[in-house]
Chains A and B, each alone.
Chain A
Amino acid sequence: MARDAGYDDFLDALADGTGYYLACENDHGSLPPRRVCPRCGGDLREEPLPETGDVASYTEVHVATPSFVDDAPYVTAVVDFGPVNLTGILRGVDADDVETGMTVTVGVDGGASAEGEAGGDGGETGDAETERSVVFEPR
């Protein structure tokens, strides 16, 4: 799987627990890859991503694309970290117990067909050809 400069560097940092986001002089938050702030065109600097965020919205996906079909149903959530929001797969909680406002931590899963730490039902391990996903878990 070819690396996507900026994006994969961001995932590497998230996986290491050193996640960041981009901010401009007007403090608009954004995520890489960016050359300029998408809102004002300003120069960007890196700032540490807050360790936790709150679920802003979520959906339990039953009909998945082929790459995620073995995982369905699963919950995809948009999580508010303050300056930026991130979209990821929410693990470690029953779909019926998910609520907006729930506080979660963020990490990276080895791939769509790999099991997250919270998955635990013995699926395939990370495959070099599967794409990585942002994942959340309740704090």
Chain B
Amino acid sequence: MTNVRVAGVGLTHFGSHPERTSRDLFAEAGAVALEDAGVPREDVESVFYGNFMGEVAEHQGHTGPLAAEALGVRAPATRYESACASSGVALRQAVKDVRNGEADVLVVGGAERMSHVGTDETTEGLAIAADDLYEVRAGLTFPGAYGLMARAYFEEHGGSREDLAHIAVKNHANAVGNEHAQYQKEITVEQALDSPTVASPLHLYDACPITDGASAAVLVSDDYADEHDLDAPVAVTGTGQGGDMMALQDRASMAASPAADDAAAEAYDDAGIDADDVDLAEVHDCFTIAEVLAVESLGFAERGDGITAAREGETRKDGRIPVNLSGGLKAKGHPVGATGVSQLAEVTSLLRGDHHNSDAVSGARVGVAHNAGGTVASATVHVLEVLD
């Protein structure tokens, strides 16, 4: 079976671009990825595209072909939607296609335009990732759902708002120097604690921002990389996906993310690694509590211990397992459909050594990307490794 080589990656600036369509954002990220790969457009055999709220935010469905067209590629294109894991699941399908020998050159990515519709409409748009009948009609928002999870975690395992604040502080610090990041400034624990309540116990600084942006990557087979003498040292060596009941009320526990447990187990097994082999990770910290659940699902902390991982320095830049060296969704931003592949782009850059935080993980060989949809009713985990 061929390796799935990451030949090139591309990102737009993540932030507020209210006048730019998602097709335009994707065109930019895709062009950067193709340039980075040194792969001509005409070699692209298919486009895998993640987008969540095109219908709600841009009155636009059927966004796959539109993405390919914006990229200047005439090839079959499919849009994948799995809420905030949209491009994570697109990536997984692209990886399978290369492995199966269906294609030698694919573009995978995603885009989202959100800021132009305002906070109320975006709150409503994001809420459709929850169960409409049993959650949205009970007044549950996306932050509200994670508020329920945070409270449940505190009840089950202990922990405090201050523990969560340390995660926000860490991720903001990591984003300093990331030219793609929405927020490139440090914050303090006090600022996080004093920020306004969004959905208790979560406050504004526990939440990722509303973000416009796009991501793209060029995946190629070993044969193509060799024939074209590409410099593509990083490969996707493991892929996993998990699922769960949509509504939090139907889960055995609201203080865990079993879909991500399953995705991690599958991806590690696929790559033939253990959690101990992982040098760094980009995880889906749409809210600070989500990073806690992620580091536990990925096996970087025991269940109930993830809450203090940032506070005790374990997941910091100089810690045992640096998490979200990009700044994470919290500081880098979360253009929903673009997030999964943006994590792939960050991990690839970190492993290649051309990331603003590469010095913190020099010699790193194994990285993981964890992407979650909704309240983790869907999750993907991908393992990336530097090939010998």
Contact = CB atoms under 8 A, between A and B. Distances in A.
Interface string B101-136: 000000000000000000111011001000001111
A38 B250 contact: yes
Interface in A66-109: 66-69, 71, 73-74, 76, 78, 84-89, 95, 100
Contacts of A61: 139-141, 143-144, 147, 199
Contacts of B196: 62
A59 interface: yes
Top 3 closest pairs, chain A to chain B, by CB: A59-B147, A85-B249, A60-B200
A87 B144 CA distance: 12
A131 B202 CA distance: 27
A112 B151 CA distance: 24
A87 B120 contact: no
B197 A62 contact: yes
Contacts of A7: 133
A89 B249 CA distance: 13
A65 B148 CA distance: 17
Contacts of A67: 124
A23 B144 CA distance: 28
B249 A87 contact: yes
Contact of A69 (B120, B144, B201, B245): B120
Nearest to B150: A59
Contacts of B149: 57
B137 A131 contact: yes
Given A57-B254, A59-B200, A89 B141 contact: no
Nearest to B146: A59
B155 A57 contact: yes
B151 A76 contact: no
Contacts of B147: 59-61
Given A56-B254, A87-B247, A63 B141 contact: yes
Range of interface residues on chain A? 35 or more
B133 A4 contact: yes
A131 B136 CA distance: 10
A58 B197 contact: no
B180 to A, nearest CB: 26
B238 to A, nearest CB: 28
A63 B198 contact: yes
A63 B119 contact: yes
B152 interface: yes
Given A62-B197, A87-B134, A100 B155 contact: yes
Contacts of A89: 138-139
Nearest to A80: B249
A78 B124 CA distance: 20
A52 interface: no
| Interface of B, helix, strand, loop or mixed by DSSP | helix
Most buried by A among B151, B152, B201, B245: B151
Nearest to A81: B249
Given A38-B245, A87-B134, A87-B140, A66 B120 contact: yes
A111 to B, nearest CB: 10
A132 B155 CA distance: 30
A31 interface: yes
A99 to B, nearest CB: 10
A134 B155 contact: no
Contacts of B135: 87
A59 B151 contact: yes
A100 B248 CA distance: 16
Interface in B243-277: 245, 247-250, 254
Nearest to B202: A59
A95 B200 CA distance: 10
Contacts of B124: 65-67
A56 to B, nearest CB: 7
Nearest to B200: A60
22 contacts: A31-B134, A38-B250, A57-B152, A58-B148, A59-B147, A59-B199, A59-B200, A61-B144, A62-B196, A63-B119, A63-B123, A64-B139, A65-B124, A66-B121, A68-B139, A69-B120, A74-B139, A76-B138, A76-B144, A76-B148, A89-B138, A132-B137
Given A38-B245, A68-B139, A78 B148 contact: yes
B199 A65 contact: no
Given A59-B148, A61-B147, A133-B138, A78 B200 contact: no
Contacts of B133: 4, 7
Given A59-B147, A63-B199, A133-B139, A78 B249 contact: yes
A112 B139 contact: yes
A94 B144 CA distance: 17
Given A59-B201, A63-B119, 10 more contacts: A31-B250, A57-B155, A58-B151, A62-B196, A62-B197, A71-B139, A76-B144, A87-B135, A95-B200, A112-B139
Most buried by A among B127, B148, B198, B249: B249
